[in-house]
Chains A and B, each alone.
Chain A
Amino acid sequence: MDLMEKNMELIEVQKLEGHTDRVWNAAWNPVSPILASCSGDNTVRIWEQSSLSRSWSCKTVLEETHTRTVRSCSWSPSGKLLATASFDGTTAIWEDLGDEFECISTLEGHENEVKSVSWNASGSYLATCSRDKSVWIWEVLGGNEYDCASVLNGHTQDVKMVLWHPTMDVLFSCSYDNTIKVWWSEDDDGDYQCVQTLDESTNGHSSTVWAISFNAAGDKMVTCSDDLTLKIWRADISMMHSGEGYAPWTHVCTLSGYHDRTIFSTHWSSDDIIASGAGDDAIGLFVESKQHDSVNGPSFNLLLKKEKAHEMDINSVQWSPSKENMLLASASDDGMVKIWQLETIP
């Protein structure tokens, strides 16, 4: 499907109001039509889509647990658990009991604000990161028990986001120190080491890196930064799958000139559309160019830019995992979560 040849538009499906402060993050449940959002109002809101009317409404508010901003939220691969990371230094684990959510565990240890939390593909590990410059790996044990398996030091500044690779137990982190670090346990014994650092010398970013996202296959990655660019990276992961050791990530291309304020979020959809959300209140959508330049390698083009998608900075953009339609959620400083549909205009 060559999207560049069609006329596409990002249509606003619904505006979800309720949070009383900026919304930092939105996360789609992997198995049900449920969306979680978290905010500077210290709460997490769970939005559900009605099977009859198809409209979204707030099913429940997770409050009175975190005592400060909830910065990010992430669903477990099974969709039954939600992890929430907060400036109060803790990460809470919530279980969906149907009628309500129960906080079944609280992970403590970081010295200050926790910025991000991520589940690995099998749901056996969690990772968190913080302004304390460290990345923690937690093992998911039975009976609502979580154990700190590893404390990873290496970043020299505030770590903004952690993300597990979609198919392998390789962990990625990005930071205020302008780098992206890759953490791997070679002997699979839980001893994680930093095996690669993507910095300016390897065509990396020149300012804070805010987010990372992988394509479905896990052989490409996009990162976004305060340096106003998005960068695409690739690795020969088949090499890793066949046990030939670590395959390093290399820079493919840099997308610049599309946003004139910090790009806070980026997400790679399962049908290969990259979304970006920035401080210029706009959402950008990018696709890989069909013209494969064997000299310069793959390049990406702007599919469309939705200006004034929100009234203030956009902090998070997330594609829905649903195969049916191309739905995108966005969260903003204006206190709103919006659901968009990418449509072809006749």
Chain B
Amino acid sequence: MVSGLINENPIVYEIKERRDVRAYSSNTDELSVDAIDQLEVFDILIAHHIRDIKDPEHPYSLEQLKVLTEDSVEVDDTKSHVRVTFTPTVEHCSMATIIGLCVRVKLMRSLPPRYKIDIRVAPGTHATEAAVNKQLNDKERVAAALENPNLVEMVDECLSPSFE
């Protein structure tokens, strides 16, 4: 592990007001409106799950660092498919695989088992994009990594709730 931080001075953004999820679930109007709302609800739910993940290096959330935004998440509930695209703060970020792993673990723990999860770095934002994406989406590699106690500890630290 490198002794210095990968990104010494991250840009921290103001985060948007959170929409109230419950306002959607009580909507009982026409089917078509419901269908769209269901997707939106799902989007938000997923975003809620992952936006609070802490950056491995700083006491800020991935949302605050704009590593993840609402647009990061694409959901197709009928196909049980979700894709998350995240933007590392620096191009050579070696934390990219840890961040990706954290997002995957969070989703695995939050979504029904039928869900297929794809994680990738935003195109053009990382020097070894293809290599990072390949590792993040090889489930055998992910399974082996999650049997490593040091890595699991790091992931659990990033996923633990922070009390402000």
Interface residues in chain A, defined as those with a beta carbon under 8 Å from any beta carbon in chain B = 22, 40, 68-69, 71, 87, 112-113, 115, 131, 158, 160, 176, 207-208, 226, 261-262, 279, 311-313, 333-334
Contact = CB atoms under 8 A, between A and B. Distances in A.
16 contacts: A22-B143, A40-B143, A69-B143, A69-B147, A113-B144, A115-B140, A131-B141, A131-B144, A160-B140, A176-B141, A207-B134, A208-B134, A226-B138, A262-B139, A279-B139, A333-B113
Give chain A's interface secondary structure class: loop
Contacts of A71: 140
Interface of B: 113-114, 116, 134, 138-141, 143-144, 147
Given A279-B116, A312-B113, A334-B113, A158 B147 contact: no
Nearest to B141: A158
A311 B144 contact: no
Given A176-B138, A208-B134, A313-B139, A261 B116 contact: yes
B44 to A, nearest CB: 25
Contacts, number: 35
B147 A68 contact: yes
B113 A69 contact: no
B139 A87 contact: no
Nearest to B112: A311
Contact of A69 (B134, B141, B144): B144
A40 B134 CA distance: 22
A188 B62 CA distance: 58
Tell me which of B140, B141, B143, B147 has the highest count of chain A C-beta atoms within 10 A of its own C-beta. B140
A312 B114 CA distance: 6
Contacts of A311: 113-114
Nearest to A313: B139
B111 to A, nearest CB: 12
A69 B146 CA distance: 11
B144 to A, nearest CB: 5
A132 B116 CA distance: 28
A208 B144 contact: no
Interchain residue pairs A-B with the least CB separation, the first 7:
A113-B144, A68-B147, A87-B144, A312-B113, A87-B147, A311-B114, A261-B116
